[in-house]
Structure 1
């Protein structure tokens, strides 16, 4: 089987592409500022030549596998793009989260966009950062259900494709939401990574902190990931802060009740920031750190 193309976004060095599972990389930023900040990349699940990249000045799209990029003209122009999520069931449906915090939606594959009516904070307590939508998750069982995590403004849910939203923050260890993972089943479970713990809910009314500091050397969690064919296995990216100078990957086989450290062969040079997965390649998971390390697992 042909190896999948991998894309990586960098801060200050734009988009890079690999055709050999990350063994080598080439810049792929024709049409994007060569020193752009790329915080989000999403590949169309039905057409891998179509890729979206989020920059500090709006959203870009390629239809030729990153040979060329075009700015998607929309209200997102000039905004930092922090997350892009494409519906697996209907790839014409796309959600984007920005800084300052707003949520945008397209239902025609990214041709046109609307800014969703959702109440989000304009500023953070203390004013240290501007609120941003750091994570979006589309429910794998019902793509009308959408979740959003805001740094620093908590958790939101919509059950009607983004028309209406509710805030679900009770029990959270922190309103600083970094990552969201949805685990299908009865009951469905949602796990979020925050700046000081990992929290879980199975009723979407109240969150339970999982006290990861009992298992991890750090409580700062940045990314949480559930592999669709991984049953109860959940992965966590963590470290000693943003950006930090230490980090690691941890996994749980009991939905977060306990955690073990994955063997990276070394200490990560900074916090593990996120994970990537290709459903067409069994057991392939990729993770990356704030400071540019990329880790690959095939088991």
Structure 2
């Protein structure tokens, strides 16, 4: 059965919150919130069901974190937003350009949050997002500049774009970066090691290096946390721990579509099921739907096969794509899926991708969509 949800939408020009009825058919809207500000991520704390954190860049005032405890009616700015420590000795200076990813801490640690930034940095808050501290285990690692070269990154800057915490163990953390791929820590961020075996980096002289990959997105299967899904710059992968080598499951995608995209969404109850939204990554990387025909692809057998789900999307001339944080699922039965497109539309399916319809149109370019219970 389904239940009322809220969609937390971050865009290039502010944030919006859409709230549904219990059938997920009717929607009300709140917003714009902070109109004109870049909102990279807007997240509800599942541990208390009321705290909202927003990663925003506020024009000439720069990057910050905002916090609300009244459903987004009022906001307070972090007293100490994420910031790198001063460079020691002759080390290069770093300044946070923007916070990109917000991750609530482990269920056993109320008030703990993690943030990933550009340039790549990992930060932790122990007070609900009011103050943030640099995680020295990554940010000051002796190999940091090898992992995160100053001249590397995406068109929007180098990113630490993902933080995933093992629900069984607060000390077990994975991160994804655009400059060095995936890393793992077993001691709550004190030490890190690359986890990239079998993942291609076809833009490097060595196409299978220890690090240097561009991990667009990683997600743990909720009912099988030892299964990690990855959408990479060079394909779709799956890793079942304790294995170390990723399997390129995107090889089973249709050749004319390919396995390039920004995000991957696991089913909340079925560890063999996940969805991707492919984009055109050929030649000049136009970052549009392949052939102008947008579609979601679903696997129900852990990536051995994929099926196209495009009912409701434009049959042609649909030249949009979906960014890293802009595709998500709720916990309904059937599962609801939600994606925000670069053309400012929010699409939803309330039948696990069989059919799609728009929830919102004419928003600014959408950076993130997060589904949360009401």
- TM-score for both structures, normalised by structure 2: 0.71
Change (3 A) 1:259 1:5: same
- Indicate conservation of the 8 Å contact 1:101/1:121, yes or no: yes
Which residue among 244, 247, 250 is the counterpart of 1:208?
Answer: 247
SS in 2 for 1:141: coil
Distance in 1 of aligned mates of 2:259 and 2:196: 19
Distance in 2 of aligned mates of 1:239 and 1:131: 20
- Residue 303 of structure 2 aligns with which residue? 256
SS in 2 for 1:211: helix
Relative contact order, higher structure (CA 8 A, sep 6+) = 2
Instruction: Describe how 1:7-26 pairs up with structure 2 within 5 A.
Output: 7-11=8-12, 13-20=13-20, 23-26=27-30
SS in 2 for 1:188: strand
- Indicate conservation of the 8 Å contact 1:53/1:60, yes or no: yes
- Residue 188 of structure 1 aligns with which residue? 226
- Indicate conservation of the 8 Å contact 2:252/2:304, yes or no: no
Distance in 2 of aligned mates of 1:147 and 1:285: 24
Residues 79-137 of structure 1, C-alpha deviations (whole Å, 9 max, x = no match):
31211111352442211100011011123322332211213403345996632112221
Instruction: Describe how 1:26-45 pairs up with structure 2 within 5 A.
Output: 26-29=30-33, 32=34, 34-45=35-46
Distance in 2 of aligned mates of 1:186 and 1:280: 18
Is 1:87 aligned to 2:105, yes or no? yes
Is 1:98 aligned to 2:117, yes or no? yes
- Residue 161 of structure 2 aligns with which residue? 134
Q: What 5-or-longer segments of structure 2 have no aligned partner?
A: 58-62, 84-95, 139-143, 202-212, 352-374
Shift of 1:42: 1.1
- Indicate conservation of the 8 Å contact 1:122/1:130, yes or no: no
Q: What 5-or-longer segments of structure 1 have no aligned partner?
A: none
The structure having more radius of gyration, on CA atoms, is: 2
Shift of 1:260: 1.1
Which shifted more, 199-208 or 55-64?
199-208
- TM-score for both structures, normalised by structure 1: 0.87
Shift of 1:185: 6.6
Shift of 1:224: 0.9
Residues 148-167 of structure 1, C-alpha deviations (whole Å, 9 max, x = no match):
11112211111222222111
